A and B are shown apart, each in its own frame.
Chain A
Amino acid sequence: MQISGKILYNKELSPDYFRMRIGFQDVVKDIIPGQFIMIRVGDTHDPLLRRPMGIHKVVEDGKGIEILYQVVGKGTFLMSEMRRGDRIDLLGPLGNGFKIDHDMERAIIVAGGIGIAPMMALIEEIKRQGAGEKGQKTKIKVFIGGKTRRDILCVDDLKGLGADVYIATEDGSLGYKGVVTDLLKESITEKDSGFTMFSCGPNAMLKSTTDIALRYNIPCQISLDKRMACGVGACLSCVVKVESLSPTPISYSPYKCVCTDGPVFNAVEIVW
């Protein structure tokens, strides 16, 4: 769907990290956590392409969404300059989101930096669908990592949702000193095998997370970030190599599109 949304706010949370709330004219139903939108950041031809952004929060059952983003270049800088009341042109919701088992009892979430963005929507959905009244029985552990304390976002929100939060920073300015997957490795034990794992962040982190999940036989879903042009499966820009399937279909390809087959994949499927 192509949507002309209206910016309800666009706030800086910590240097270079922003949260934007976008309101829709018509309610957008059935947004699944892990899905994303493609935002047009301006009317000129530089930058030219839309920018993909994960859905951070579904507002009031689809009256709008929030995104959480980091300014890393021209496109995200232009987004940071947008003001309350401005119109914003987006495509979405796109892609396949996280698959949440009904009555899931335990979830581990591993996020690196801005990779926390789609995880808030996921946690809210787990709370809706998980075990027990309002998912209150679902135990959620969130491992969140970044270079410094300034890259650690949403901690209060996470705690507000009843999650146990474990923090790692590479410079040690907050929580464990080191990378988040080392903290994960140290915290996890055989008895965690009943968990489902969800992860989003830089590639190296996703790979280590996958290795850990495999070692403890924990099912793991990861959300990938690839450069995109169309977002709808038309251009084949955003591919990732996957394990070959059997039986081989006539249109066999070793690649899948992150935009339409993902961005969320079963971690064991990916060829790193």
Chain B
Amino acid sequence: MNNPDLSVNIGGIEFKNPVLTASGTFGYGEEYSDYVDLNRLGGIVVKGLSLEPYEGNPPPRIVETPAGMLNSIGLQNIGLNAFITEKMPFLRRYDTRVIVNFFGMTIKQYSEFATKISDVDGVAGLEMNISCPNLDKGGMIFGVDPRLTYKVASAVRKATTLPLIVKLSPNVTDITVIARAAADAGADAVSLINTLLGMAIDIDSRRPKLANITGGLSGPAIRPVALRIVWEAAKTVDLPVIGIGGIMTANDAIEFMIAGAHAVQVGTASFVDPDASIKIVDGIEKYCRDKDLTGVEELVGSLRT
């Protein structure tokens, strides 16, 4: 029988398969190139970038929790210029889509970044991380307020013609309101979820286990929550959705697609098994074949209720 078509189109970006690596868990691709055939990935979402290099939080920055981990890396990154000169030439050599994840601390920083990255050869699209504090608004997180989400996403929309994915924070009461704000602002897709805010305490010293006190929870522990939030968002907005959160296996990825995701991102799983994303690609292909699907898009939003 024919090979199932694994390709998906998201906001004008043609991915050869629906499996991307999640920002912050796969560096700039190079770090894992000895372990993973990068050409087999649908896409690589690079570590979150800002206009200038960013120092991040003091260590300890991670702690393991049941079936998950908390991180407070604090967005440490090499900055846009170093990315363009030191990392992009490597990524261009591969036949995979490069999505640039980025953030700012003001709306102006977001739009300036989007303008500057727009002429860089080899960038297929942008993913804007809105789980960051807005320094103009007393540090309020952009992504927890629908008006702020709309404002910052609109500003970026005006600054670039590249496909724009808005990455949503799950730390909100109602994801549908935020997802709609992103759609209204002209986003081409939304991706979710970013990490869930959590904390852990050492009971002997009574100190927090992370120097930053709180951190973002990722890994299999968050999967059911992520799946529910993806399902809610996919029902609400008329945009493609990229599902993220605790995906370890092809079965997990397929769950997200049935719930309405057009593609998935694999994060923490790469730490456990560098090759996890490739195994997921193979597993999705096998599933499609076993179920006689002509293409993976048949799966998207096929939940029977």
Interface residues of A (CB under 8 A from B): 1-2, 40, 45-50, 91, 226-230, 232-241, 249-255, 260
Contact = CB atoms under 8 A, between A and B. Distances in A.
B76 A235 contact: no
Contacts of A253: 53, 55-56, 76, 78
Interface string B265-286: 0001011111100000000000
A232 B35 contact: yes
A45 B81 CA distance: 38
B199 to A, nearest CB: 16
Contact of B62 (A1, A229, A250): A229
A227 B71 CA distance: 11
A235 B79 contact: no
A235 B25 contact: yes
B219 A48 contact: yes
Contact of A48 (B32, B61, B81, B268): B268
B270 A230 contact: yes
Contacts of A46: 66-67
A260 to B, nearest CB: 8
Nearest to A228: B62
Contacts of B73: 235-237
Contacts of B86: 251
Given A49-B271, A250-B81, 5 more contacts: A1-B34, A45-B67, A229-B268, A234-B27, A240-B59
Main SS at interface, chain B: loop
B71 A235 contact: yes
Given A48-B272, A239-B61, A234 B31 contact: yes
B34 A236 contact: no
B55 A254 contact: yes
B220 A239 contact: no
Of the candidates B32, B272, B273, the one having the most CB atoms from chain A within 10 angstroms of its own CB is B272
A40 B31 CA distance: 19
Nearest to B65: A48
B248 A45 contact: yes
B69 interface: yes
Given A234-B31, A255-B76, A226 B59 contact: yes
B133 to A, nearest CB: 19
20 contacts: A2-B275, A45-B67, A45-B221, A48-B64, A48-B68, A48-B272, A49-B271, A226-B59, A228-B62, A229-B71, A230-B270, A232-B35, A232-B274, A236-B24, A236-B47, A237-B61, A239-B59, A251-B53, A255-B56, A260-B31
B246 to A, nearest CB: 9
B270 A234 contact: yes
A229 B63 CA distance: 9
Contacts of A226: 59-60
A253 B272 CA distance: 27
B150 interface: no
B113 interface: no
Contacts of A232: 27, 31-32, 35, 274
A226 B47 CA distance: 21
A253 B50 CA distance: 13
Nearest to A234: B27
B200 to A, nearest CB: 12
B59 A230 contact: no
B52 to A, nearest CB: 9
Contacts of A2: 35, 274-275
Contact of B61 (A40, A45, A233, A236): A236
B217 to A, nearest CB: 12
Contact of B53 (A50, A227, A252): A252
Contacts of B76: 236, 239, 253, 255
Contacts of B25: 230, 234-235
Contact of B24 (A1, A235, A249, A251): A235
B231 interface: no
Contacts of A233: 27, 31
B101 to A, nearest CB: 14
B21 to A, nearest CB: 9
A47 B64 CA distance: 8
A225 B243 CA distance: 34
Interface in B15-74: 24-27, 31-32, 34-35, 47, 53, 55-56, 58-64, 66-69, 71, 73
B82 interface: yes
Given A40-B272, A91-B35, A251 B69 contact: no
A118 B272 CA distance: 24
A255 B66 contact: no
Contacts of B31: 230, 232-234, 260
Contacts of A40: 272-273
A227 B271 contact: no
Contact of A45 (B47, B82, B219, B275): B219
A8 to B, nearest CB: 24
